[in-house]
Structure formats: structure tokens, C-alpha cells
């Protein structure tokens, strides 16, 4: 499907070019419709587009303090997530940017923290932070039920008092640093500062956040390279490696290994569809044979027959959910299961930006349904009106079938994912899209 | 030392002694603990243990750090010895002690400040613990979507809280299978009544029917249970019967979720069913008399059978417990 993907790349490019000339609102709306029409799709293009549009929001929207900036970013973010809820990366990037803003803002705040601490309330006034957030969320849901206008209630008070309960000591810790005795484990500085900044501070914050978003963009562009760096460790000479509908990440990974090692690649493909069957992954195959790698195409679903000889299955993820489940191209789960059955290692490649802090509360909502015209066309008259034909483009690989996750930060086991998540996202941002869900 | 030994010898007073009785050795931590549990039905065992220890600090005069730590330790042991199953209490007492130690290390000996903080905020901790339960409901209710069916047993307040939270959002749109415990018919009736009063359709089944019900394809979508204590490997010590339900759920490939507050995490690594931290005689052989069953019996469910822990800090894999405990204790040698 190379032709298709270049088409999408064009759409993304066109969109990125259009950013400069357009007013912000128009850019957001055009991205929303591009996402809805699936003209920008796939995790990497979606992530890049999201990062770009959020950069525009930071640079061009009106905001006079941190809270209004947070509101702007999360409001745009929620629109994008709503436009394409299947693409978890959009939410991930929005969360990253929100976390970035909080970090920069709390750095700027610096000393002011102590002042606010000194006027801490007397113990009787101390309300546990969790209960505030609790009341607050339930209130939000209630208001959602009564179809309140979709205006965010001021997040200021609640955010600034949320101190994400992380350590077990949270139960006993001092909630606001009252009367001077601060728990050593209190995660201070995580709350939103309350300063109404002067223009200088705002300017500094703006440029810092923009730098941060640029870094995120760089990270996204380098992911494939960094993942490929661990290829030589994973693939050994003489291995029989099975890949399923290789994404660019997987292609780069295999090609990097091909520079030093001699091994065999099995490419499992989607069952031949009308028209475009012969073209699949042709360039990838050419490059591999140029490197002296034996390539075998497997066209049918009978992968179990090969599995006993395969050493490694490599799957490119579209997204990884918090439990370790992997959203990947349809067909991968069957391969992973077959591999598990035979004791073959299943390796998932994914950039950290694809790792979502969301739990798969509802698996079916993660699956993307595609268009069935590749299987049935209007030439098959009776089929068109007589049968319902569905084709899933993605599916969720259960976490127990995956052995190793390779990200741009290295190789991880399933249990390690949670610490990656807490490193990259702030707890208070984890649910930003759900508020929207409740409101709509 | 002498104060605590005396406390062992004569546990007389049952009310909270005031600070006007310095050096009073009549503080009865066990009675305090029981009073607290009885007076507040929302209190969990670990938090009640913490509250009792705070009450203890209130009675003993502030002397040296070492002596205070020692008093806390002795009374913790006393408290643990007084109940059948010490694990839930150990979660609380260990956390309290470790907090004391960690705060003191940080404070360069400003021991009074820590003490004052603890004494003043005694009630706050209880409120926080209860807020944690609401946090669990917030974190986990989305598992219970429209058209789902949840199997549960026991009387975990976290689980009922979570189900009630889910009912608030989609009333009458999900169903609950409740596994009745005939030994505790009263409690089962209460839980079922509570759930039904929230508009949740409940099917009551006997324990013997669990495997059959799980075998009815797509009738049960998930299992939710609470826990008395969460062990450091991510397993749970919970009401007896949990283990077999977890096994059956794993067999039927039904996700098994545990709703538990993080203050129930305890440094204990059970190796198998024999190793639950205290002596429990479930087997009572007799040729003549009916067998006796222990009250409040528990079993151990290993982490392999648990899909996710739902805590107030979000939904986590069982490995989360280990990370959190390591984070505050620094080592895992209980």
C-alpha cells in the first residue's frame, strides 16, 4: 500500500504548509475534518499534526496566564480526540504538552511556593486533595447529565490543589505544607501556579513551551532510528523473523539488522485484495534482497504452519494501552497467539509517544473498522445489499501474548510500562478527554 | 520500655486518655482499635490501626525519638497479636512506622513537628482513606459499561462503591451476579439489597454455581472483588472463596479485577495457601462432631490470576504494588 500512504503523507504536508497562512480556528477545523475523513491517519502523522497544531495554539491563541493556556490546549485537544478517538496518540501528545506547560510553569514559579505555603490554612480547613478532585469530577458528571453548556468550569482551584497521590505516604502526608513539617515524599511543585504573570513571564513561558513542543516533534521524527538501534541485539544471524504488514518502523528495524546480519524474513500480508495485491511491500522487499536477505512472502492466514520454525515475531504497534495491550493491524493478534502457542518470542516496536495512559475499559472502542469495498464491490450486486461485510483494520493484542516492548528508550517488559507512563504523563491530565465525553 | 510492658500487663481503660495523664501506661491499643472500627463503619482495618497508633502517641509524652518508635513498635505488635489475621493491620502499622522514620530522617530531629502534624490531623487520615475508596470508584467504574455483567462476592465496600458509581452513569444497563455466602446470609442479603436499591439488576447464585455460570458463554464479562490486604507480589489476601473464583475466571478467560486502596499494600510475600501470615485451621477432622470453620477465613490469590488492580491512583498491573512498596520502604525485607 505504498501509494496510499504517500497520499496521506501529502495530506499531512499540505496541512502543515497551510498552518502559516490560516487563522488558528481554521487550522484546527481543517485538521479535525482531515482526521474525521481519515485523510490524516496512522499514529505518526496524527502525532505530528497534533504537535503542530498545539504549537500554534500555544503561539497564537490568547492567554494571559497558565490556566487559560491549559484550558486552550486541552479544549483543542479534546476536539481532536473526539474527531478520531481511535487514534490514541492524539490524546498522548495533548497530555505531553499539558504536562510540559505545568512543568515549565512550576519552574517559573520558583520561590512563590513558599509564600503560598506560609498562609496555609489551619488544620481544620485542610481538605484532603483527593476529595476535592472527587467532588469536582462527580459534580462535572452531574452537570453533564443535566446537559449543561459545554463550558469548562474553572479548573484553577481544583488543579492547583490536586497533588497527585503517588506514594503510599499520601495517606499520612501533610496535604498543603501546613505548619512547616513537610513530608519528604510529598511531590511538591506539581500543582498549577497561581501567578497572574506579567507579560515578560508569559513571553518566557511561551517560548519555553514552544521549545518543548519542538522537542516532542524531534522525538517523534527520531523514534524509528532509535528503535532500529536495538535491532542488532534482537535479531541474530540465521534467525527466521516474521513480520506482519511491516510499518516503516518495522522496515527500518529489519533493514538496520540487515546491515550486519544474515537472516530470513517472512512477510505476512493481508489476504490478497482486489486490484492491489501484487504491490504490497515491493520496495521493502527490494531493499532487503539488495542487502542479501532472503525474503519470503506469506500470503494466506496459515501462519501456524510456519510458526514452529520462526524465531521471532515482530509487530509494529499503532498504540499501546496502559495494561500492555497493543493496538496493531488486524491479523496481528492471531499471529501473536500462534507464536505464543509455539513459544516464539513476540516483539512489539513502538515509539514512547504511542504509549497511552488509558486503560482499555472498552476494547471494542479501540478497534477501527475499515471500508469493505476491498472485498466486495458494486460488481457483486446481490452481495452489496444482501450481506453485511465488516473489516476490522486494527485489533487489540492481549498483553499476555507480548514478550518484549521495544521503544525509543530501550527494551521493556510489561511491568515497566507503568513507570514509563508516569514518567511521561501527569496524572491530572490523564482523563482530560473523558470530561469531554461526559459533556457531549 | 517500662511503659509499654505495663500496658501489656494491665489493659484497663477503654476510653481515649487525655494528655493530662502524662506517662500513663493504661492506654489499651486493642480496645481503642476495636472502638474505632465499631464507631465508624467506613473505616478500614489498616486505617483504624493507624488511628489507634495516633491515639497512642497522644497519650505517651514526647520523649526521645527512639523511645517513641519503640512504643509504636510494641503497640503495633500488641495490636497485631490481638486479631486473627494480622496482615491488614500490618499494612497500616508498617506504613505509620515507616512514615515516622522517614519524616524524622528528613527533619533533622524536629520530632515535635512531625508529632504535632500526626496528632492534629488524625481525622484527616481517615477522611483521606475514605476518599481513596471514592477514588477507586472513579478510577474503575468505566470497566462496567452498558450491557456488561459483573460477578462479585463478599462485601467489599470498594466494589459496591464502584458499582454504585457505575450505576449513577448507566442505571439499570449493566447486571451483577452476586455469589451468596450462606454462612453469612445476612451480609449477602445486605449487599444485594444495597445494590438493588441503586437500580442494579442482581442475580444471586450459590457458591457452587460459579463455574457453571462462568461457563455460560458471554454471560459474565468480568469479576470484581475487594481485598483484605494486597501482598507485595501483587497477589491478594481476601475472603475465602476468592481464590477459587479467580481460578475459574482465569480458566474461562474472564478478566479478574481487584478493587483495593493503596494503604492495603503490605510487605508480605505469600508462597502458597499455607503461607498467609497466620495459622488458619480450615481442616477440622472429626469422626463424631461437625467440623468447626474459622471465622473470617481468608485465602491467597496469586498475582497471575489478577488482571488489574483498581486503586485510587488508577488502574494498574499487579507489579505496581512492588514498585510502590519499594519506593517507600527502600527494601522489601519485612
Distance, in Å, from the CA atom of B122 to the CA atom of A123, rounded to the nearest integer, reads 10
Q: How many CB atoms lie within 10 A of CB A118?
A: 11
User: Would you say B230 and B258 are in contact if contact means Cβ atoms under 8 Å apart?
Assistant: yes
Q: Which residue has the higher pLDDT, B332 or A377?
A: A377
pLDDT surpassing 90 at residue B115: no
Radius of gyration of chain B (CA): 21
Please judge whether A171 and B129 are an interchain contact, meaning their C-beta atoms are less than 8 angstroms apart: yes
pLDDT surpassing 60 at residue B24: no
**251-290 in B: which are within 8 Å (CB) of A?**
262-263, 265
The string of pLDDT tens digits covering residues B128-178 is: 888 899 999 988 888 998 889 999 999 999 999 999 999 998 877 899 999
CATH superfamily for A12-111+200-214 is: translation initiation factor eif-2b, domain 1 (1.20.120.420)
Predicted confidence at residue A196, as pLDDT, reads 52
Please judge whether A181 and B107 are an interchain contact, meaning their C-beta atoms are less than 8 angstroms apart: yes
User: Would you say B242 and B153 are in contact if contact means Cβ atoms under 8 Å apart?
Assistant: yes
Distance, in Å, from the CA atom of A247 to the CA atom of A253, rounded to the nearest integer, reads 10
Please judge whether B312 and A130 are an interchain contact, meaning their C-beta atoms are less than 8 angstroms apart: yes
Q: ipTM greater than 0.85, yes or no?
A: no
pTM metric for this prediction: 0.79
User: Residue B263 has what DSSP assignment?
Assistant: G
Q: Which residues of B touch A361 (CB under 8 A)?
A: 142-143, 145
Q: By the CB < 8 Å criterion, does A184 face chain B? A: yes
Q: By the CB < 8 Å criterion, does A334 face chain B? A: no
Predicted confidence at residue B301, as pLDDT, reads 96
Domain with CATH 3.40.50.10470 in chain A: 235-429
Please judge whether A167 and B169 are an interchain contact, meaning their C-beta atoms are less than 8 angstroms apart: no
Distance, in Å, from the CA atom of B159 to the CA atom of B258, rounded to the nearest integer, reads 8
Please judge whether A170 and B128 are an interchain contact, meaning their C-beta atoms are less than 8 angstroms apart: yes
Please judge whether B138 and A134 are an interchain contact, meaning their C-beta atoms are less than 8 angstroms apart: yes
**84-113 in B: which are within 8 Å (CB) of A?**
95-96, 98-99, 102-103, 105-107, 110, 113
The grid coordinates listed for A36 are 474525521
Per domain, the residue ranges of chain B are 29-135, 139-331
Q: Which residue has the higher pLDDT, A81 or B1?
A: A81
Q: Give the nearest chain B residue to A365 (CA atoms).
A: B145
The string of pLDDT tens digits covering residues B85-107 is: 899 999 999 998 888 888 777 75
Distance from CA of B281 to the nearest CA of A (A): 33
Q: By the CB < 8 Å criterion, does A121 face chain B? A: no
Predicted confidence at residue B179, as pLDDT, reads 95
Q: Which residues of B touch A180 (CB under 8 A)?
A: 113
From the list A128, A166, A183, the residue facing B124 with the nearest CB is A128
Domain with CATH 1.20.120.420 in chain A: 12-111+200-214
HSE, side-chain direction, 13 A CA sphere, residue A77: 30
A235-429: CATH number? 3.40.50.10470
Distance from CA of B9 to the nearest CA of A (A): 31
SS (H, E, C) chain A: CHHHHHHHHHHHHHHHHHHHHCCHHHHHHHHHHHHHCCCCCCHHHHHHHHHHHHHHHHHHCCCCCHHHHHHHHHHHHHHHHHHCCCCHHHHHHHHHHHHHHHHHHHHHHCCHHHHHHHCCCCHHHCCCHHHHHHHHHHHHHHHHHCCCCCCCCCCHHHHHHCCCCCCHHHHCCCCCCHHHCCCCCCCCCCCCCCCCCCHHHHHHHHHHHHHHHHHHHHHHHHHHHHHHCCHHHHCCCCCEEEEECCCHHHHHHHHHHHHHCCCEEEEECCCCCCCCCCCCCHHHHHHHHHCCCEEEEECCCCCHHHHCCCCEEEEECCEECCCCCEEEECCHHHHHHHHHHHCCEEEEECCHHHECCCCCCCHHHHCCEECHHHCCCCCCHHHHHHCCCCEECEEEECHHHCCEEEECCEEECHHHHHHHHHHHCCHHHCCHHHHHHHHC
Please judge whether B134 and A430 are an interchain contact, meaning their C-beta atoms are less than 8 angstroms apart: no
From the list A173, A361, A415, the residue facing B143 with the nearest CB is A361
Please judge whether B106 and A184 are an interchain contact, meaning their C-beta atoms are less than 8 angstroms apart: yes
Distance, in Å, from the CA atom of A389 to the CA atom of A383, rounded to the nearest integer, reads 9
Q: Which residues of A touch B306 (CB under 8 A)?
A: none
**349-378 in A: which are within 8 Å (CB) of B?**
359, 361-362
Distance from CA of B221 to the nearest CA of A (A): 11
User: Residue B18 has what DSSP assignment?
Assistant: -
What value does the mean pLDDT of chain B take?
86
Chain pair A-B, CB pairs under 8 angstroms: 125
Q: Which residues of B touch A130 (CB under 8 A)?
A: 128, 131-132, 134-135, 312
Q: Which residues of B touch A143 (CB under 8 A)?
A: none
Predicted confidence at residue A118, as pLDDT, reads 37
User: Would you say A222 and A47 are in contact if contact means Cβ atoms under 8 Å apart?
Assistant: no
Q: What is the mean pLDDT of residues B20-30?
A: 63
The string of pLDDT tens digits covering residues B253-298 is: 999 999 999 999 999 999 999 888 888 888 999 999 999 888 889 9
The pLDDT tens digits along chain A (440 residues) read 333 444 566 788 888 888 888 888 888 999 999 998 888 888 899 999 999 999 999 988 888 888 888 888 888 998 898 888 888 999 999 999 999 998 888 887 654 444 333 333 333 333 333 333 333 333 333 333 333 333 333 332 233 333 344 677 877 776 543 333 333 333 334 444 444 556 778 888 889 999 999 999 999 999 999 999 999 889 999 999 999 888 999 999 999 999 988 999 999 887 666 555 556 788 888 889 898 899 988 876 678 888 889 999 999 999 999 889 999 988 899 999 999 999 999 999 999 999 998 888 777 788 888 877 777 777 777 777 777 888 888 999 999 899 999 999 999 998 888 889 888 888 777 777 655 444 43
Please judge whether A169 and B128 are an interchain contact, meaning their C-beta atoms are less than 8 angstroms apart: no
Backbone φ and ψ of A345, nearest 5°: -75, 135
Predicted confidence at residue A89, as pLDDT, reads 92
Distance from CA of A358 to the nearest CA of B (A): 9
- What's the Cα-to-Cα distance from B199 to each of A117, A242, A283, B165, rounded to whole Å? 45, 51, 60, 12
Distance, in Å, from the CA atom of B157 to the CA atom of B195, rounded to the nearest integer, reads 11
Measured N-to-C along each axis, helices A24-36 and A43-60 cross at an angle, to the nearest 10 degrees, of 160
Q: By the CB < 8 Å criterion, does A322 face chain B? A: yes
User: Would you say B78 and B36 are in contact if contact means Cβ atoms under 8 Å apart?
Assistant: no
Q: Does the CA dihedral B320-B322-B325-B327 come out positive or negative?
A: negative
Q: Give the nearest chain A residue to B142 (CA atoms).
A: A361
Distance, in Å, from the CA atom of B312 to the CA atom of B135, rounded to the nearest integer, reads 4
Q: Give the nearest chain B residue to A125 (CA atoms).
A: B124
Please judge whether B263 and A171 are an interchain contact, meaning their C-beta atoms are less than 8 angstroms apart: yes
Predicted confidence at residue A436, as pLDDT, reads 46
B139-331: CATH number? 3.40.50.10470
From the list B50, B135, B308, the residue facing A134 with the nearest CB is B135
Q: Can you say how many angstroms the Cα of residue B231 is from the centroid of all Cα atoms in its chain?
A: 11
Predicted confidence at residue A353, as pLDDT, reads 94
User: Residue B228 has what DSSP assignment?
Assistant: S
Amino acid at each position: 500500500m505504498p501509494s496510499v500512504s504517500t497520499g496521506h503523507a501529502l495530506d499531512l504536508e499540505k496541512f502543515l504548509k497551510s498552518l502559516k497562512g490560516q487563522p488558528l480556528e481554521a487550522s484546527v477545523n481543517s485538521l479535525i475534518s482531515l482526521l474525521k475523513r481519515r485523510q490524516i491517519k496512522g499514529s505518526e502523522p496524527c502525532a505530528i499534526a497534533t504537535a503542530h497544531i498545539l504549537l500554534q495554539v500555544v503561539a497564537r491563541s490568547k492567554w494571559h496566564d497558565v490556566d487559560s493556556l491549559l484550558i486552550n490546549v486541552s479544549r483543542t485537544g479534546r476536539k481532536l480526540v473526539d474527531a478520531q478517538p481511535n487514534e490514541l496518540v492524539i490524546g498522548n501528545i495533548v497530555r505531553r504538552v499539558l504536562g510540559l506547560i505545568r512543568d515549565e510553569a512550576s519552574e517559573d514559579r520558583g520561590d512563590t511556593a513558599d509564600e503560598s505555603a506560609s498562609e496555609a490554612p489551619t488544620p481544620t480547613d485542610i481538605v484532603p486533595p483527593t476529595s476535592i478532585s472527587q467532588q469536582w469530577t462527580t459534580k462535572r458528571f452531574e452537570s453533564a447529565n443535566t446537559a449543561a453548556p459545554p463550558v469548562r468550569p474553572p479548573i484553577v482551584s481544583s488543579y492547583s490543589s490536586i497533588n497527585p497521590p503517588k506514594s503510599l505516604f499520601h495517606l499520612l502526608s501533610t496535604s498543603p505544607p501546613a505548619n512547616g513539617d513537610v513530608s519528604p515524599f510529598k511531590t511538591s511543585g506539581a500543582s498549577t501556579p497561581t501567578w497572574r504573570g506579567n507579560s515578560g513571564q508569559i513571553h518566557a513561558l511561551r517560548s519555553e513551551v514552544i521549545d518543548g513542543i519542538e522537542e516532542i516533534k524531534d522525538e517523534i521524527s527520531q523514534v524509528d532510528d532509535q528503535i532500529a538501534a536495538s535491532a542488532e541485539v534482537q535479531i541474530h544471524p540465521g534467525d527466521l523473523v516474521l513480520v506482519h504488514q511491516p510499518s516503516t518502523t518495522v522496515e527500518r528495524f529489519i533493514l538496520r539488522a540487515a546491515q550486519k546480519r544474515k537472516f530470513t524474513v517472512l512477510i505476512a500480508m493481508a489476504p490478497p485484495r482486489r486490484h492491489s495485491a501484487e504491490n504490497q511491500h515491493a520496495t521493502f522487499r527490494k531493499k532487503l534482497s539488495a542487502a542479501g536477505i532472503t525474503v519470503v512472502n506469506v500470503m494466506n492466514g496459515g501462519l501456524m504452519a510456519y510458526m514452529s520454525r520462526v524465531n521471532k515475531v515482530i509487530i509494529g504497534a499503532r498504540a499501546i494501552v496502559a495494561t500492555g495491550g497493543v493496538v496493531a493491524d488486524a491479523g496481528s493478534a492471531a499471529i501473536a497467539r500462534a507464536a505464543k502457542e509455539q513459544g516464539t518470542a513476540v516483539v512489539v516496536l513502538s515509539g514512547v509517544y504511542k504509549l497511552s495512559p488509558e486503560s482499555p475499559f472498552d476494547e471494542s472502542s479501540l478497534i477501527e473498522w475499515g471500508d469493505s469495498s476491498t472485498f466486495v464491490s458494486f460488481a457483486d450486486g446481490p452481495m452489496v445489499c444482501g450481506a453485511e461485510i465488516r473489516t476490522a483494520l486494527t485489533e487489540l493484542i492481549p498483553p499476555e501474548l507480548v514478550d518484549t516492548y521495544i521503544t525509543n528508550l530501550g527494551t521493556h517488559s510489561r511491568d515497566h510500562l507503568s513507570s514509563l507512563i508516569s514518567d511521561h504523563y501527569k496524572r491530572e491530565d490523564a482523563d482530560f478527554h473523558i470530561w469531554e465525553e461526559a459533556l457531549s | 520500655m517500662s511503659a509499654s510492658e505495663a500496658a501489656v500487663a494491665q489493659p484497663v481503660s477503654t476510653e481515649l486518655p487525655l494528655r493530662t495523664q502524662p506517662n500513663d501506661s493504661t492506654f489499651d491499643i486493642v480496645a481503642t482499635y476495636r472502638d474505632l472500627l465499631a464507631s465508624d463503619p467506613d473505616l478500614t482495618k489498616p486505617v483504624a490501626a493507624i488511628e489507634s497508633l495516633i491515639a497512642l502517641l497522644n497519650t505517651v509524652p514526647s520523649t526521645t525519638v527512639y523511645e517513641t518508635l519503640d512504643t509504636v513498635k510494641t503497640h503495633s505488635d500488641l495490636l497485631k497479636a490481638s486479631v486473627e489475621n494480622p496482615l491488614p493491620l500490618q499494612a497500616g502499622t508498617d506504613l505509620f512506622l515507616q512514615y515516622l522514620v522517614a519524616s524524622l530522617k528528613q527533619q533533622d530531629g524536629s520530632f515535635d513537628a512531625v508529632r504535632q502534624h500526626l496528632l492534629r490531623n488524625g481525622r484527616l487520615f481517615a477522611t483521606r482513606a475514605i476518599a481513596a475508596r471514592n477514588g477507586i470508584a472513579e478510577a474503575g467504574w468505566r470497566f462496567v459499561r452498558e450491557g456488561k455483567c459483573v460477578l462479585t462476592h463478599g462485601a467489599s465496600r470498594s466494589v459496591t462503591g464502584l458499582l454504585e458509581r457505575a450505576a449513577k452513569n448507566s442505571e439499570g444497563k449493566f447486571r451483577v451476579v452476586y455469589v451468596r455466602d450462606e454462612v453469612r446470609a445476612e451480609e449477602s442479603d445486605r449487599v444485594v439489597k444495597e445494590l438493588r436499591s441503586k437500580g442494579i439488576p442482581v442475580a444471586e447464585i450459590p457458591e457452587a454455581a460459579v463455574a457453571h455460570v462462568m461457563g455460560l458463554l458471554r454471560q459474565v464479562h468480568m469479576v470484581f472483588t475487594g481485598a483484605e490486604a494486597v501482598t507485595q507480589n501483587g497477589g491478594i489476601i481476601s475472603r475465602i472463596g476468592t481464590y477459587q473464583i479467580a481460578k475459574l475466571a482465569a480458566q474461562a478467560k474472564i478478566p479478574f479485577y481487584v478493587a483495593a486502596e493503596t494503604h492495603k499494600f503490605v510487605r508480605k510475600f505469600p508462597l502458597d495457601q499455607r503461607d498467609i501470615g497466620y495459622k488458619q485451621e480450615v481442616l477440622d477432622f472429626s469422626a463424631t462432631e461437625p467440623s468447626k470453620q474459622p471465622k473470617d477465613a481468608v485465602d491467597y490469590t496469586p498475582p497471575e490470576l489478577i488482571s488489574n488492580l483498581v486503586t485510587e491512583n488508577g488502574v494498574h498491573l499487579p507489579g505496581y504494588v512492588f514498585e510502590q512498596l519499594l519506593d517507600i520502604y527502600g527494601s522489601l525485607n519485612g
